[in-house]
């Protein structure tokens, strides 16, 4: 999993990247997670292509295709 590294007041921390968060949400497949994915897409934090690529790497390509058909190409 890829992280973005930051520091706040000298304390380093890592944050999961948006595309990984979207694919984790996709794997859970709950309505509120679908809303999270839509929000990430609408905010420009992640692109369809980034999610599709990562979903393919994690065996979630069919889940992504169903999501796209249901919510994006609808």
Separation between Cα atoms, residue 56 and residue 42, nearest integer Å: 21
Walk along the chain (74 residues) and give the pLDDT tens digit of each residue.
678 899 999 999 999 999 999 999 999 999 999 999 999 999 999 999 999 999 999 999 999 999 999 999 97
Hey, where are the domains in the chain?
Answer: 17-72
Separation between Cα atoms, residue 57 and residue 53, nearest integer Å: 6
pTM tops 0.95, yes or no: no
**Sign of torsion over alpha carbons 31, 48, 51, 8:** negative
């Amino acid at each position: 999993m890829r992280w973005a590294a930051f520091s706040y007041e000298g304390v380093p921390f890592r944050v999961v990247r948006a595309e990984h968060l979207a694919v984790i949400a996709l794997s859970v497949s709950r309505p509120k997670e679908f809303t999270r994915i839509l929000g990430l897409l609408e905010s420009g934090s992640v692109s369809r292509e980034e999610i599709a690529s990562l979903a393919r790497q994690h065996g979630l390509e069919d889940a992504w295709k169903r999501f796209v058909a249901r919510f994006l190409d609808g």
